[in-house]
Amino acid sequence: MIRLRPGPPATVADLHRAQQVAGLLRGELERVRAAAVAWRNGLGGLLVALVGFSLIRGRTDVSTLASGWGALVGVLLLAALTAGVGGALALLRAAHGRLTVTPVADLPPAPLGDHLEALAAVRFLRAGVWLVLLCTALLVAAVGVTWYAPGS
């Protein structure tokens, strides 16, 4: 049979550490959301600059590319669009939360609920950053193909 006994009393250092952890948890979700908004704005600026750069292009008609190269440009642009939309949605989710209403009965206690939401927001923030960077790479590749692919 297992017997449980009380442990040693908390020291001043233990109590101080518990207060620090509680303080960090209290502001965690707000800090993550602020970081997500900053990343969203920064990556949005990057994409605007990239689109502006892509307006300076070689060929304006992909039909003048050699056989198959025009299709490659189309695939790259479709993949960039898909990654960009996924990244934007992930960044919006990280910055603003889920687009649902949680029933009151399902709400976890405040510190735990905020911590779980902060963890989810960080996951979506990381995914959004990577997807936007992938979108950027795909757009650069598509513009590069239109510049350097052989003509028909």
Cβ proximity of 13 and 20 under 8 Å: no
CB 125 within 8 A of CB 94: yes
**Could you please report the per-residue DSSP string of 117-131?**
HHHHHHHHHHHHHHH
pLDDT over threshold 90, residue 126: yes
Task: Copy the structure tokens of residue 127.
Answer: 């995914």
In which band, very low, low, confident or very high, does the pLDDT at 143 lie, cut at 50, 70 and 90? confident
Is residue 10 left, alpha or beta, with left meaning phi > 0 and alpha meaning psi from -120 to 50? beta
3-state secondary structure (DSSP) of residue 65 = strand
pLDDT tens digits along 21-79:
777 677 788 888 888 888 888 888 877 777 766 655 555 667 778 888 888 988 998 99
- What pLDDT score was predicted for residue 78? 92
> Rounded to whole angstroms, how far apart are CA atoms 76 and 82?
10
